[in-house]
Every structure is written in C-alpha cells, then in structure tokens.
Structure 1
Amino acid sequence: MATVTVEVNGRPYAVGCADGQEERVRILAKQFDNQVRQVAQDVGHVGDLRLFLMSALILSDELHEARLNAGGGPASGGQPMVQPTASTDGVAEALNAVAARIEKIAQNI
C-alpha cells in the first residue's frame, strides 16, 4: 500500500492508496481541492470540515445528475453504472482513507 500526500485548501493530507494509484489519487485530490476552493469563495471560510462536506455534497449531486442523464437511473436503485474493478478499488481505498481523516479531524473540533 502506498501513501500519497495531497493538498486540499492549503493543508497537506496523507492518503493511503493501492500501489500504482498514486497519480490517480493526486488528480482526484486536485479536482476536490478546486471544488473546495470554489465553495470557500462562494460562502467564505466556514471551517475545513464544512467546506469538505459542502464540496462533497456538490460533487455527489453532479455525479447523481450525470448518472441520471446517462440512463443509469437513481443511484439508490438498479445496477451501478460502473462495476468495481481493481482500478476503482484503489480509488475507493483512497476515498475511505480521506473519509477516515475527515472523521478524525471532526472529532478534534
């Protein structure tokens, strides 16, 4: 298992991921950082946890709309559009690590 340090909203975060998925995690983190920074511009600085939550909700909404537009139906019903594979497993591990880090930060607030 590899570890990648990514920066979101000016702060570094160590994220675990599958070997070979480091660049993918960096790309995803950069996209998330852009979303967080946009939310921060729109609403001001309300704390990293809230910025991350708001950004995650916006991205989830965009994903939901994309699935609907692609004919995948609601995310809660039917078959997922993308079946998990080895490459998506690495991304899922990275997202789980980020979620755990956010939860740890939230507990310290």
Structure 2
Amino acid sequence: MGQVTVRVGGYSHPVSCEDGQEAHLIALAAEVDRRVASVKTMGGSYGEPRLLLLAALLLADEVHDLKVEVAQARAGVLPPLPATDPRLAERLVRVAERIEGIAADLGKG
C-alpha cells in the first residue's frame, strides 16, 4: 500500500493509496487545493473543515454538471453553443483570405 503526504489549504495530510496511484492521488489533492484557494479568494475567514467542505461542494457541483452533459450527449441532445465574438469571426475570415492568397502564390511558381 502506497502512502503520500499531500498539502491542501496549507495543511499536510498523510493519505494511503494503492501502489502506483501515488501520482494520481497527488494530482487529485492539487485539484482540491486549487478549489480551497478559490474559496479563500471569495473572502471570509474559514477553518480547515469549512474550507474543505466548500471546496468539496464546488467539486460536487462540477461533477453534477459533467454528469448532466454526459447524459445529454448520450441522449443526443447538444448543448447550446456559446455566443461567438464577431471580431473573432472577422479575424478568421482575414486569416483564411491570407492563407488562400499564399496558396495561390505558391501555385503560380
């Protein structure tokens, strides 16, 4: 059985895992730590248990949203596309025109 010590929210936690899963566990803890840091930026003064609870709720919310997306994808329901920036579309048209011009010049030679 493997064992690693992870840091989340400034606290060290020894955690056991299956052999070979140490790196995966460290990556998971880093994700939790990012959520704890996100909670800290929202303001307020929380102890470790509350920080971990709020981080867990953020992760649970994201998992819920992903489950809904997977269920919709399996059902063939496509999510609405985000609004596009008209400036981006214009830039893409200009880039495509430049590429076509370069291709035409290469074809002449």
- TM-score (ref. length: structure 1): 0.63
Task: Compare relative contact order (CA 8 Å, sep 6+) and give the higher one, 1 or 2.
Answer: 1
| Counterpart for residue 60 of structure 2 | 60
For the aligned residue pairs, the C-alpha RMSD in angstroms reads 1.1
- Deviations 1:16-41, CA, capped at 9 Å, x for gaps: 10000000000000010010011011
| Counterpart for residue 48 of structure 2 | 48
Q: How do residues 15-94 of structure 1 correspond to structure 2 at under 5 angstroms? A: 15-71=15-71
Amino acid at match of 1:51: L
Gaps of 5+ in 2: 73-109
Amino acid at match of 2:58: I
Amino acid at match of 1:49: P
- Deviations 1:53-85, CA, capped at 9 Å, x for gaps: 01101110110111001117xxxxxxxxxxxxx
Amino acid at match of 2:31: Q
Any runs of at least 4 consecutive aligned residues in structure 1 with deviations exceeding 2 A, and if so which? none
Between the aligned partners of 1:51 and 1:5, the Cα distance in structure 2 is: 19
Classify the secondary structure of the residue corresponding to 1:70. helix
| Counterpart for residue 7 of structure 1 | 7
Amino acid at match of 2:42: D
Please say which structure displays the higher CA radius of gyration.
2
Between the aligned partners of 1:53 and 1:62, the Cα distance in structure 2 is: 14
Between the aligned partners of 2:65 and 2:49, the Cα distance in structure 1 is: 24
Classify the secondary structure of the residue corresponding to 1:15. strand
Between the aligned partners of 1:36 and 1:8, the Cα distance in structure 2 is: 7
Shift of 1:45: 2.6
Gaps of 5+ in 1: 73-109
